[in-house]
Amino acid sequence: MKEYKFPCPVAKKCGGCQLTNMPYEQQLKYKQTTEIKLLGSFGHVDEIIGIESPFHYRNKVQAAFGKTKGGMIISGVYQSSTHNIVKVDSCLIEDEKADRIIVTIRELLKSFKLTVYNDRTGTGFLRHVLIKRAFGTGEIMVVLVTGTAEFKSKNNFCKALLKEHPEITTIVQNINNNFTSLVLGDRQIVLYGDGYIVDELLGYKFRISPKAFYQVNYKGTEILYGKALEFADISENDVVIDAYSGVGTIGIIASGKAKSVISVELNKDAVKDAKINADLNKLKNIRFFCADATEFLLAAAEENEKIDVVMMDPPRAGSTVAFMKSVCKLSPKKVVYISCNPETLARDLLYFSRNGYKVKKIQPVDMFPHTKHIETVVLLSK
C-alpha cells in the first residue's frame, strides 16, 4: 500500500481531513476504539472494515476558482470559515483524474481569456468546477458553475477539454449568480453528452445528475451496502421499508430479494431520481414516497401495515423517538440501522434496546479514510 511520509501540506487550512498525520492502520485502530467506547455497551463491535486503497477514493470532487492578490488564477478549497481559496492541485483523497481535469480547466481559462468569479463583487465567469466519476462504469461528468449564462466560445472550450480528457462523457454548465455558499444554482445547460452519468453498483444501475446525492466512496459503499444486505437477510416474502432512502440505492438493491420495498425520503429531487433509477433497473416491486420519515412511519403504524424488515439510514442527527416508536409498533423481525454518526446511533440504539429489540451485530466500515467520520451498520432483532 502506498503510504505518504508527510501529512497533507494544506490539511490545517482545508480542514477536510483530520487524521492525515496517522498511518492508515493507526487510523483504523483509533476509529475502532471510538466505536467500542460509544457502542460497546450494546454488544460486540466487529473489527472495522478498512478500504484496500484509502487514497483518492472520492468520486465527487469540487473546486472553487479565484485569483491571488498577484492576479494568478487558482483553484482549490475555501479555507474553513473564510472566503480565501487554498490552492489545491492534487488532494490525497480526491480522484486523481478529476484533479487533473480541474488543472486542465484552469489552464484553458487562460488560453480562452475567460475570467474567474469574484464572490465579493458578484462579477466574473467561472465560479466552481464539480466533477463526478462513476467508478463502476468509468463515466465522468464535468459541471462548470458560472456566474453568468454567457459562455464565450463554449464549443471550442469543450472541444479543447475533451481533447485533453477524452474520458469525459458529459459536460454541463450550471449558472449560479446568487450570493450563496451553495455550489450549484438552479439553471443548467447541457454542453456535451447526456447531462448525467450512470454508475453500476452491486449489479444495479444508478443515474447521477449534478445535484443528486450519491455516496462518495464507491468501494466503501459496496462493502457497506453488502453488509447491510447480509444483516437484513431478506427472503422472497418479506416487505421491506427503506427509510431515509436518498436516490433509492439501498431499497433498489434490496428489491431483488424482497417481495416488495417501500422507500421514504424527504427530498423531492432525490425521490425523482429514485423513481428514474427503479425504471432504469426495470423494477416493479418498489414504491417511493416523498415524505418525512417520522410522519410516514406514524401513518404506517396506525394502519398496522405488515412490515418484515426496516432498513434505515438517517442523516447525522439520527432518527426521532416518534419514528422509532412507530418502528417498534410495526414490529418488524429485523431493523438494519446504517449510521454516519456513532454518537446519535448510540442514543437511538438505547431506545430500541429498551423497547423490545436486541443489538445482534455492530459493523463499522471506514467509508471516509483520513477523516474522523465513521460509518456503522447495526442489526437489531426482536
Catalytic residues: 340
Q: Strand, coil or helix: what is 65?
A: strand
Residue in 161, 232, 250, 349 binding ligand SAH, rule: CB under 6 A: 250
Smallest distance from the beta carbon of 381 to ligand SAH, in angstroms? 21
Residues between 214 and 233 with contacts to ligand SAH, criterion CB under 6 A: 215
What grid cell was written down for 136?
A: 463502476
Q: Decide whether 87 or 219 has the Cβ nearer to ligand SAH.
A: 219
Smallest distance from the beta carbon of 250 to ligand SAH, in angstroms? 5
H-state helical runs in 191-319: 218-232, 249-255, 268-280, 293-302
Q: Decide whether 45 or 312 has the Cβ nearer to ligand SAH.
A: 312
Residue in 30, 112, 135, 213 binding ligand SAH, rule: CB under 6 A: 213
Quick check: 249 and 201 in contact, CB under 8 A? yes
Contact call for residue 131 and ligand SAH (CB under 6 A): no
* 260/247 Cα distance (integer angstroms): 17
Residue in 124, 147, 246, 364 binding ligand SAH, rule: CB under 6 A: 246
Q: Decide whether 52 or 317 has the Cβ nearer to ligand SAH.
A: 317
Smallest distance from the beta carbon of 208 to ligand SAH, in angstroms? 11
Q: Decide whether 85 or 264 has the Cβ nearer to ligand SAH.
A: 264
Residue nearest to ligand SAH as judged by C-beta position: 246
Helix, strand, coil content of the chain in percent (nearest 5)? 30, 25, 40
* 224/49 Cα distance (integer angstroms): 9
Please list, in sequence order, all residues whose beta carbon lies within 8 angstroms of the beta carbon of residue 72, skipping any fewer than 6 positions away: none
* 122/71 Cα distance (integer angstroms): 17
Q: Decide whether 162 or 266 has the Cβ nearer to ligand SAH.
A: 266
Identify the burial level of 291 via C-beta atoms within 10 angstroms of its C-beta, where 0-12 means exposed, 13-18 middle and 19 or more buried: middle
Contact call for residue 315 and ligand SAH (CB under 6 A): yes
Please list, in sequence order, all residues whose beta carbon lies within 8 angstroms of the beta carbon of residue 172, skipping any fewer than 6 positions away: 141, 142, 143, 144, 188, 189, 190, 191, 195, 210
Residues of 320-344 as b/e, b for ≥16 C-beta within 10 angstroms?
beebbbbbbebebebbbbbbbbbeb
Residues between 289 and 308 with contacts to ligand SAH, criterion CB under 6 A: 292-293
Residues between 261 and 280 with contacts to ligand SAH, criterion CB under 6 A: 264-267, 270
* 381/349 Cα distance (integer angstroms): 12
Contact call for residue 321 and ligand SAH (CB under 6 A): no
Residue in 244, 351, 357, 368 binding ligand SAH, rule: CB under 6 A: 244
Smallest distance from the beta carbon of 18 to ligand SAH, in angstroms? 21
Smallest distance from the beta carbon of 290 to ligand SAH, in angstroms? 9
Residue in 59, 75, 169, 249 binding ligand SAH, rule: CB under 6 A: 249
Rounded to 10 deg, the angle between the 342-354 and 24-39 helix axes is 30
- Range in contact with ligand SAH (rule: CB under 6 A) among 53-61, 115-123, 240-248, 348-356: 240-248
Residues between 16 and 75 with contacts to ligand SAH, criterion CB under 6 A: none
Cell match 498577484: residue? Answer: 70
Contact call for residue 341 and ligand SAH (CB under 6 A): no
Contact call for residue 255 and ligand SAH (CB under 6 A): no
Q: Which residues bind ligand SAH (CB under 6 A)?
A: 213, 215, 244-246, 249-250, 264-267, 270, 292-293, 313-315
